[in-house]
Amino acid sequence: MVLRYNKNYEEKKDGGLERINKKALFLDLDGTLLDDKKNIPPENEAAIKEMLERGHSVIITTGRPLSGAVFLAERLGLTTSGCYLVAYNGGILYDTAAGKVIYRSTLPLEAVRKTFEEANRRGIHIQTYRDPKVLVEPRCDDEAIRIYCEKIHVDYEVINSINDLEQEPVKMLIIDFNDPTPLEEFREWIASWASESIDTFFSCNEYVEIVRKGLNKGNAVVQMAKILQIPVENTIAAGDAANDITMIRASGVGCAMANAAEEVKKCADYITELDNNQGGVAEIIKRFILD
């Protein structure tokens, strides 16, 4: 008899198979895994350690660039077997234990150059990425880029012109710390010519993400589940902000933090009793993975 391999089982010492029912937990960072001081509550840390020891996977899921996401994964100790991350809201999937990119989706250079040209004409701060750095033209060597890079622990580089860029980037970002109206108007401009190839969305009131069509945290859940050979129904996602909604809807169990925005809670299968400062992620792990 031929016994087919299934990742929901592992071989025991006696030669038999034991069902382990592997699950994957997708975690947003700010407001979800991390407390308001950007630390991981000890309850979350202990619960994640136990789920990893039982053979499950944990995937940091963030809009941050790869270098910033890797920095956080290392600081949080999430670099062992079973640990992965999603950067750029799904543009890159990364195996933190192996230290390698396992999936990448990029924007066409022609669209990038056109978008930069219009942002320059309107006086909007715009940036793109070439790992491990953020890229800006001289006009955007400003306070916005310095605040952004300090916040997420990445460096930036000033390039002469976006026209010199040779490699397709994963995303662009426009920033306005004072008024979201110019960002909303810029989104409308992009939709007028690129609605079938580019998506835009607010990741917070000050940032608009510009990515390839269909690229979001929900798509990342589906892609990562395929890579890990885990059924989508065995995925759990937790978040608190609008850019987490797609992964909450796409996962087997979508969880909203107690501190989540109301629009996020409306989409969730489960709302935690504890918030991000109290170990709400540990509550999710104990309820849907360890039990």
Residue-level pLDDT, tens digit, the chain, 291 residues: 222 233 444 454 455 434 458 999 999 999 999 999 989 999 999 999 999 999 999 999 999 999 999 999 999 999 999 999 999 999 999 999 999 999 999 999 999 999 999 999 999 999 999 999 999 999 999 999 999 999 988 999 999 999 999 999 999 999 999 999 999 999 999 999 999 999 999 988 999 999 999 999 999 999 999 999 999 999 999 999 988 999 999 999 999 999 999 999 999 999 999 999 999 999 999 999 998
* Contact present, 217 and 243 (Cβ < 8 Å): yes
Q: Which domains does the chain have, with CATH numbers?
A: 21-104+216-290 (3.40.50.1000), 109-212 (3.30.1240.10)
pTM of the predicted model as reported, rounded to 2 decimal places: 0.86
| Identity at 140, one-letter amino acid code | C
